[in-house]
């Protein structure tokens, strides 16, 4: 039987990120010799397109007619890309030699693995994990995401404690390799999210379709983080809180959705009080606006989204779903690292 070598397309979605392209695109080209490198431009108003054209003629550009946001920007671009595997790569990521090989080998090992991520280290603190993805993503009982190597604002030093390969709930959108056929089967990223939490939603839908999501510790990259929206930006707060609630409503079973949503809303309210006590009034407003928009669309838009995708009957069938509250474990019980949480081990690497 003839074996066809898999093809890889590394797709960088850019919006006014010329400085990041100038800094990191040469590195991506150097260390991705067997992949097609593509820059998809989200209608930038800076000179990103002209810069890539003049300096990197070997890079294919897909110029989108408007800023579709992270989610629909990738959806629009990937409709125009033919490859076995896509890599969704942030423009502010520094890759390393041979970074793609372990990721490809993992997806080639089992067709049920739909997506995976490498180890994500901080660009500025190079022996520490980076906030957005670290060593693989998990979700707690009320929809709060966390990672091996990062719980809330506590980021661990990389001491080799996560050098393994294992299934997780979600892989970070900062650097995710995804099987192209599975991406399109799941209908891509959720357009309505615009940005933030979108990779968790995609990975949840992929799990509901019977796929697995993995972390591959044999590959590592460095991520700047916050390149488009700073962490404290109220717009980011709005998107995270709105999408966090919508994520649960879209993907939980009918049996679980109301119970989980009620507790989540209460916990979001506690977060708003914390912002209020710190005098961060724009953050409080962002959380209020996020909940208002969710409920305004709940019975029309989000209900349609629920009906559009298959659901699993129980969250216990999902790998990487932590059945406790990470908020309680972290803030009340003082458990600051992933290994202190007693998260059940995932399945072993499939043969």
φ and ψ of 278, to 5 deg: -90, 0
Q: Is residue 240 part of a domain?
A: yes
Section 346-350 average pLDDT: 42
Sequence-distant (≥ 6) Cβ neighbours of residue 332 within 8 angstroms: none
Of residues 311 and 157, more confidence is placed in: 157
Evaluate if residue 329 carries a pLDDT over 60: yes
Section 110-134 average pLDDT: 97
Section 277-291 average pLDDT: 95
Section 61-81 average pLDDT: 96
Q: Is residue 305 part of a domain?
A: yes
Chain-wide mean pLDDT for the chain? 93
Whose CA is closest to 136, among 110, 108, 105, 103?
103
Of residues 255 and 10, more confidence is placed in: 10
The one-character DSSP state at 80 is T
Confidence band, pLDDT 50/70/90 cuts, at residue 312: confident
Q: Is residue 291 part of a domain?
A: yes
Evaluate if residue 229 carries a pLDDT over 70: no
Section 176-190 average pLDDT: 97
Estimate to the nearest angstrom the gap between the alpha carbon of 328 and the chain centroid.
24
Q: Which domain holds residue 294?
A: 234-317
How far is Cα 30 from Cα 123, in angstroms, rounded to an integer? Answer: 18
Q: Is residue 205 part of a domain?
A: no
Q: What is the pLDDT of residue 226?
A: 64
Q: Is residue 313 part of a domain?
A: yes
Which residues in 197-211 are b (16+ Cβ under 10 Å) and which e?
A: bbbbbbbbbbbbeeb
Evaluate if residue 351 carries a pLDDT over 50: no
Confidence band, pLDDT 50/70/90 cuts, at residue 76: very high
Token pair for 73: 């920007």
How far is Cα 10 from Cα 76, in angstroms, rounded to an integer? Answer: 15
Sequence-distant (≥ 6) Cβ neighbours of residue 25 within 8 angstroms: 12, 37, 39, 52, 56, 59, 91
Angle made by CA atoms 123, 124, 128, in degrees to the nearest 5: 80
Whose CA is closest to 89, among 147, 149, 39, 18?
39
CA distances (Å), 204 to each of 83, 113, 303, 307, in order?
Answer: 23, 13, 17, 15
Q: Is residue 122 part of a domain?
A: no
Q: What is the pLDDT of residue 3?
A: 61
Count up the domains in the chain and report the number: 1
Q: Is residue 254 part of a domain?
A: yes
Q: Is residue 82 part of a domain?
A: no
The one-character DSSP state at 330 is I
Confidence band, pLDDT 50/70/90 cuts, at residue 347: very low
């Amino acid at each position: 039987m003839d074996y066809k070598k898999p093809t890889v397309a590394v797709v960088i979605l850019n919006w006014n990120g010329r400085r990041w392209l100038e800094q990191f695109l040469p590195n991506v080209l150097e260390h991705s010799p067997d992949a097609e490198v593509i820059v998809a431009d989200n209608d930038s108003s800076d000179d990103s397109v002209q810069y890539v054209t003049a300096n990197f003629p070997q890079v294919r550009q897909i110029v989108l007619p408007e800023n579709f946001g992270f989610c629909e920007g990738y959806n629009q671009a990937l409709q125009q890309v033919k490859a076995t595997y896509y890599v969704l790569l942030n423009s502010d990521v520094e890759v390393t030699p041979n970074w793609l090989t372990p990721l490809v080998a993992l997806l080639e090992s089992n067709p049920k693995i739909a997506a995976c991520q490498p180890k994500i280290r901080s660009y500025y603190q190079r022996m520490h994990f980076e906030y957005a993805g670290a060593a693989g993503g998990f979700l707690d009982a009320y929809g709060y995401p966390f990672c091996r190597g990062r719980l809330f604002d506590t980021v661990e030093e990389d001491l080799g404690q996560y050098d393994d390969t294992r299934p997780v709930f979600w892989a970070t959108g900062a650097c995710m390799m995804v099987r192209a056929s599975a991406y399109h089967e799941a209908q891509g990223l959720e357009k309505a999210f615009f940005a933030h939490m979108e990779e968790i939603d995609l990975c949840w839908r992929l799990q509901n379709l019977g796929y697995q999501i993995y972390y591959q510790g044999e590959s590592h990259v460095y991520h700047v983080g916050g390149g488009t929206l700073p962490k404290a930006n109220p717009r980011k707060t709005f998107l995270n809180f709105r999408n966090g609630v919508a994520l649960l409503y879209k993907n939980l079973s009918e049996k679980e959705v109301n119970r989980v949503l009620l507790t989540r809303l209460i916990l979001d309210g506690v977060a708003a009080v914390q912002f209020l006590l710190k005098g961060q009034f724009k953050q409080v407003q962002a959380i209020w606006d996020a909940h208002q928009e969710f409920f305004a669309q709940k019975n029309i838009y989000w209900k349609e989204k629920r009906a559009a995708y298959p659901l699993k009957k129980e969250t216990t069938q999902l790998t990487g779903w932590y059945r406790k509250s990470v908020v309680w474990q972290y803030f009340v019980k003082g458990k600051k690292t992933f290994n202190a949480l007693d998260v059940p081990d995932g399945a072993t690497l499939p043969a």
